[in-house]
Structure 1
């Protein structure tokens, strides 16, 4: 592994108004200043744009305390090759963190176009720009980190999921695009010697997260007095990973790039790695719902006498979903001495408190 000092570097973060992107930028400003950060986000309305604007405001106020750092934001689409090329020419990023993507398993069934545009074309544009960053002997990109997903494990029966497992059975287009990203990165890593690390994230949650995620969607529905549907009759387990743990993992990975070296044929051995970032502790959906209920009452988002039983419905599994996600994080622990450890209750509590404040309940 090549060690990379983040201070005084230029870091390009795609999806920078997104849940993980914005939190990563805040962490870098707080711990790695002086640092120059470039962000891009198309600010689409897949979910409430006000949450994205709130995250950008958080970055803005954080910058006031770290005036030795800079943040340049482009409200543009990654699928626009000209924009990506312009950013690389003008800013010459040292490190690229690709978190911009159309997320969500269920949405990929009804809106496949946006997944091909963001996740395939957008990522291709990033790879091409990384490749050309070395033109004319330039130093170019030192490390490309990109978001993959636990959904690549698809219908795998073996748990916990290991990065050594074959992942050739995606059960959604979203999962297929993420697996494709890993293959594309590997090809570019081999051909152009780009140090690249893919991160398979497991059910990321926390304050100002994505409203399409169960904990957020359930909260919205309960508040409106609607019924929440619990899939597979509650026989689902998810490896919930708190946002701060994800961000810490990404930050550590950014600082260690896979080493460039040549094989016996004199050609590069791809400087390429993949890690799971998950809690290594799957929670049953019914237990998760119970904790969510308790924390929503504690934060006074819902009244103490709320009748949860009347607003709960157990339903069959739905297309594109998997019954369990469970991360084997041994390689992450081995290479970075890091393991996510935020408990589900602690994370849901922070979400409930944020929710109360954001929606002024």
Structure 2
């Protein structure tokens, strides 16, 4: 399979590209290498991927439509996985325009490339943040998501709506997946696990929002990308000619388009304080905890219903957070400590 992945110098894109390359697939990456965080980490990820002979990459912005269209036309992929985005709930409060440029304009350019290339499947990253003010948990794909709590979530919800119209009008099969608190080796420095680990080792305090009364469905990155790889083959069927006998229980499949949305999570909510305890245990060092109120844009809890993912792929992410934290800490100490 020839796969085009946006965001291959990023955390999740790197892991997905690595998995597909190890499986023998051809991958063309596309990444803008922005300075949202240390670009040395991004270059290091790309350098590792370049060790595979079937990997090539274009370093350009999603907003550069000419560069993107040319890269996709050259790669001629059968599938596109769109992971590149401006991430971060809190960053979106101060820098909203970056989210319009990358997440709205950039995502439109990717959808147009998929239409022109007539790919067999376009997969796009969304986020559990789109569930916003919803309180009925675990979150399932058929719930309404009309109350995003951050501008980041709003742009991702817009992507879902844009993709549905694109699938309906142009017949491009599109799957969106909603991530739930991804973590693991090669993670971003702005992520809680990275920040907590660094601060504890440096003897600096960590900020614990909502006084630790936060619950998250922590999803190990290798579990996440395995689910994405399996979803590549789960192509949403066109509305015309569907066999009702083959309907999948709880499917989010659109009645008028080859479009669906799928949760990817561990289906197990974990208290933030227990997550911090696991980091302390791995480091053999206690954190200095600075308890603070909840931040604007944050939600107190998120928890995924992953039954649709299991029905589509037969796969259920299952790495426990203690095991995942241990893997991250081992990587961090190898790469970031003298």
TM tier, shorter chain? over 0.9
Residue in 2 aligned with 1:120? 104
Aligned to 2:177: 199
Query: Is 2:1 the partner of 1:14?
Result: no
The list of structure 1 runs, each at least 4 consecutive aligned residues, that deviate by more than 6 angstroms after superposition, is: none
Q: After superposition, what is the alpha-carbon deviation per residue over 1:77-98, rounded to whole angstroms, capped at 9, x for unaligned?
A: 0111111111222222210000
CA distance in 1, matches of 2:268, 2:154: 25
Q: Quick one: distance in 2 between partners of 1:231 and 1:307?
A: 18
Q: Is the counterpart of residue 296 in structure 1 residue 288 in structure 2? A: no
**Aligned residues of 2:60 and 2:68 also touching (Cα < 8 A):** no
Other-structure match for 2:146: 168
What's the secondary structure of 1:199's corresponding residue?
Answer: strand
The structural deviation recorded for 1:235 is 0.7
Pairwise CA RMSD: 1.4
**Residue 44 of structure 1: aligned partner:** 34
Q: Contact conserved, 2:185 with 2:328, CA < 8 A, in 1?
A: yes
In the alignment, is residue 105 of structure 1 matched against residue 92 of structure 2?
Answer: no
Q: Which residue of 2 aligns with 1:343?
A: 320
Is 1:263–1:269's contact at 8 Å kept on the other side of the alignment?
no
Map of 2:115 onto structure 1: 131
Q: For 2:67 and 2:47, how far apart are their aligned partners in 1?
A: 23
Partner of 2:247: none
- Give 1:263 shift: 6.7
Following TM superposition, by how much is the alpha carbon of 1:262 offset from its aligned partner in structure 2, in angstroms?
Answer: 1.6
Question: Could you tell me which residue of structure 2 aligns to residue 145 of structure 1?
Answer: 123
Change (3 A) 1:235 1:220: same
Within a 5 Å distance, the mapping from 1:171-250 to structure 2 comes to 171-250=149-228
Structure with higher Rg: it is: 1
Once the two structures are TM-superposed, the CA of residue 279 in structure 1 deviates from its matched residue by: 0.5
Over residues 256-304 of structure 1, what are the superposed CA-to-partner deviations in whole Å (9 max), with x where a residue is unaligned? Answer: 211124279xxx931111100000001101111000111122xxxxxxx
SS of residue in 2 equivalent to 1:340: coil
Structure 1 equivalent of residue 74 of structure 2: 90
- C-alpha offsets along residues 25-52 of structure 1, whole Å, 9 cap, x if unaligned? 1111111x1x321111111111121211
* Aligned position for 1:277: 264
**Contact 2:128 2:178 (C-alpha < 8 Å) held by counterparts:** yes
In the alignment, the residues of structure 1 paired with residue 219 and residue 171 of structure 2 have an alpha-carbon distance, to the nearest angstrom, of: 32
Q: How far apart are 1:222 and its partner, in Å?
A: 2.0
* Residues matched between the structures, number: 326
Any stretches of 5+ residues in structure 2 without a counterpart? 243-254
Correspondence 1:258-337 to 2 at 5 A: 258-262=236-240, 269-297=256-284, 306-308=285-287, 311-337=288-314
Match of 2:21 among 29, 33, 58: 29
Between the aligned partners of 2:218 and 2:286, the Cα distance in structure 1 is 25
1: distance between equivalents of 2:295 and 2:176? 28
Distance 1:81 1:162 in 2: 34
Give the TM-score normalised by structure 1: 0.88
CA distance in 1 between partners of 2:11 and 2:74 (Å): 26
Deviation at 1:219, TM superposition (A): 1.4
Consecutive unaligned residues of structure 1, counting only runs of 5 or more, are 1-8, 134-139, 298-305
Q: 1:359 corresponds to which residue?
A: 336
